[in-house]
Structure 1
Amino acid sequence: MHRGWLVVPLAAALTATACGSGTTTTKTEKSQETPIIALFLPESKTTRYEAFDRPLFEAKVKQLCAGCKVLYSNADQDAAKQQQQVEAALTQGADVLVLDAVDAGAVAPLVNQAKQKKIPVIAYDRLISGIGYDYFVSFNNVRVGEMQGQALLDALTARGTAAKGKVVMIHGSTTDPSSADYKKGAHNILDGKVQVGREFDTPDWSPDKAQQEMEQAITALGRDNIVGVLSANDGMAGGAIAAMKRAGYKQLPPITGQDAELAAVQRILTGEQYMTIYLDIRAEAEKSAELAVAAVKGEKPAAPTTVNNGTADVPAFLLDPIAVTADKVKDTVVKDGFYKAADICTAEVKGACAKAGIQ
């Protein structure tokens, strides 16, 4: 399932040898029986975090460092709660922080607290701004938006509707810098080629709020004047689809997504959703775990590139996203084992699975 990095990283220092269960010397020069790696995820509405990111990260840490403990926290989209979680982890003696920030523009003071204690920080999935730190592990997020925009444009062109109506753009939360990258990428492709009727930034990436936004767009623009929907992820796509069904659409316009959620893959096969972006979360989680274990051992592997966060050039590992339409489900998420055919091909989807050659 592993996808290639933008540049092959220098990972010679990372081996599958478990850390000893005895005393370990970290970069903080603190000796303790159990090295602690603290993992902070931002929310649970997006199914990937609890279903994939957390278990994949924990499994890789266990493989590489049998004596390491993963201290896990989910902030439930609450920045104040995440602050308390990070501060608690620092108090408990965390040796490394792997932080997927609820509000990536507001956690610099927390990162600074860790730096003062000489505790390495890895920004996971979302780029933390305002301060320098050790690593950033994510995807090429502008490319994600470009792929969504191109897929939507291709679908509209194939239907002959690109110039016959308006597009609704449903972006993610403004507290997530990745959302701004997705938006930028989508506009790179769509500007000048389609007419944007309504555009939203969706608090908390909430599917319910996306549904409300889509309802507002339908009311403002008229049902028959909307020819496509650019949704930044699958959960919000589901909300937008619910709004369109409620409004009485006989044929849904093409709609994009991201994360290859199971429900979205099923919608793509049945024709309700046009595409999703498949992110190799395994590679992202495992690379972060490798870096965290290396940090526990006092090692600092070289990164293949850097990303500027407005304050510093942060060493970065970036994965390429993959666009998935109905004809590509079999050779991506099924082939990689992201989902089993039996998980996808429920009774309602069985016929669509057969058409796509998924058994």
Structure 2
Amino acid sequence: MNTPFQLRSAVPLAGLLLLAACSNNAATNSGNNAAGTNQAQDAAAKTSTFTAAKGCKNIAVMLPESDSSARYEAYDRPLLEQEIKRALPGATIQYANANNNADTQQNQADAALTKGACIMVVDPNDSDKASVIVQKAKASNVPVIAYDRLIQDPDIAYYVSFDNVRVGQLQGQYILDQFQKGNYELKPGAKLVMINGSQTDNNALQFREGAMNALQPAVSDKRLNLVFDQYTPNWDNGRAQSLMEGILTQQRNDVDVAYVANDGMANTVIAALRSQKLNGKVLVTGQDATLTGIQNILIGDQAMTIYKPIVKEAQVTAQLVAALSNGTDPGSVVNGKTALKGGGEVPSALVTPIAVDKTNVASTVIADGFLTKDQVCSGLPTGAGGVCN
């Protein structure tokens, strides 16, 4: 059986990246030559700023956790290792996972620097606290690429992620579309619950921002009744289930839509709904196109997820690592700038996310090899979602 990264590793980068015009956090690409020239100059300058990176082959890869989302160990780790070694022959990887602890991640970063890491790829557990990692690396002239989640520090070399505001907009627009179609028996006044990600993760803030961009008009005119809206510390799946159980008690099981920020939390929210025989009756969103999430979609317990082609994110990151090591211009890989909450912007490479429901599971995650049909259909009844036959 082919693994997802084997199937996708040869996908060309050209044309895969789009600057998200609708993101409030990325500068709009006006298309004028002056702006494009300045952007290219800013990106090229990064390759000469961090002297330790020149000729670097010792790369630290640091991921935030493994308990709330299966993606980091199942996809990000092997893809990053594969693509960095492909783009920079002879590279060695120091890998660490913070297991949802920002202090642990800082200690891991210190250890990586001590062991000679000269380029660091950091997916922060805490977007603010990870600034310490950036500053310690800077003191050694070592660049840090913020991977997937933004680090709130102007001295990061690059930021590689998906257009996270767009992720939230896709989730919110899906809810609105289903409401307008009358699906899930949704009617004016339908009760909406929002179980967001961790407030210490900048991505979670952007997901909610994007979702509310789509949903706020319907909330304001009372077509949707927002009865709960809360962040979930550390994206904790068990906490999400407890929140949903409390909401159902408070609302006497009268809930119509659960905006849930990712598939891990969605799965436990579904467990809470199932205990009240409401699974499949309440519209539940998700994100990451995990195996469990896709299976929940095919059996009807979850409405949609967001597919983020992680192989593209890993390929872009590897290309930036190679550019820093070789002292070369990363070129069009850098396609925008992302604003920091304290002011300033960082050069960014933003990949486009894709909304997935049962109508396009086969043409997206399966066709791309992100998940195989055998994986998706394992344990599901024949005919599930029109995919398993």
Same fold per TM (> 0.5)? yes
**Conserved in 1, the CA contact under 8 Å of 2:196 and 2:230?**
yes
Unaligned runs of 5+ in 1: 13-25
State the partner residue of 2:82.
59
- Identify the range of structure 1 (58-67 vs 182-191) with the bigger mean alpha-carbon deviation: 58-67
Out of 283, 306, 312, the residue aligned to residue 277 of structure 1 is 306
- Which residue does 2:336 correspond to in 1? 305
Provide the residue aligned with 1:266 in structure 2: 295
Of residues 242, 252, 255 in structure 2, which corresponds to 1:226?
255
In structure 2, list runs of 5 or more residues that go unmatched: 1-7, 20-28, 30-35, 41-48, 219-223
Q: How many residue pairs get matched?
A: 342
Change (3 A) 1:104 1:166: same
Q: CA deviation at 1:200?
A: 1.7
Length-normalised TM-score, structure 1: 0.90
The 10-residue stretch of structure 1 (300-309 or 322-331) with the greater mean CA deviation from structure 2: 300-309
Please report how far the alpha carbon of residue 246 of structure 1 lies from its aligned counterpart in structure 2 after TM superposition. Answer: 1.1
Q: 1:344 to 1:75 in 2, by over 3 A?
A: same
Percent of aligned positions with the same letter in both sequences?
Answer: 39
**How far off its partner does 1:107 sit?**
1.6
Q: How much does 1:300 deviate?
A: 4.1
1:178 aligns with 2:200: no
Q: 1:190 to 1:342 in 2, by over 3 A?
A: same
Distance 1:78 1:251 in 2: 34
Residue 317, structure 1, aligned to residue 317, structure 2:
no
2:367 matched to 1:335? yes
- Does the Cα contact within 8 Å between 1:304 and 1:316 map onto a contact in 2? yes
Query: Secondary structure of the equivalent of 1:104?
Result: coil
1:349–1:206 distance in 2 versus 1, CA, 3 Å: farther
Specify the SS of the correspondent of 2:359: helix
When the two structures are superposed, what TM-score results if normalisation uses the length of structure 2? 0.83
- 1:93 CA displacement: 1.0
| Higher alpha-carbon deviation: 235-244 or 288-297 | 288-297
Q: Could you tell me how far 1:27 is from its partner in structure 2?
A: 4.9
Structural mapping, 1:20-59, within 5 Å: 27-28=50-51, 35-45=57-67, 46-59=69-82
Helix, strand or coil: the match of 2:302? coil
Aligned residue identity for 2:198: S
2:112 to 73, 83, 89: 89
2:25 aligns with none
Contact 2:279-2:301 at 8 Å conserved across structures = no
* Alpha-carbon distance between aligned partners in 2 of 1:220 and 1:5, rounded to the nearest angstrom: 44
Per-residue deviation, 1:162: 3.9
Query: Cα distance 1:167–1:29, how it changes in 2: closer, same or farther (>3 A)?
Result: closer
Tell me the amino acid that sits aligned with residue 143 of structure 1.
R
Q: Secondary structure at the match of 1:237?
A: helix
Note if contact 1:129-1:311 (Cα within 8 Å) is conserved in structure 2: no
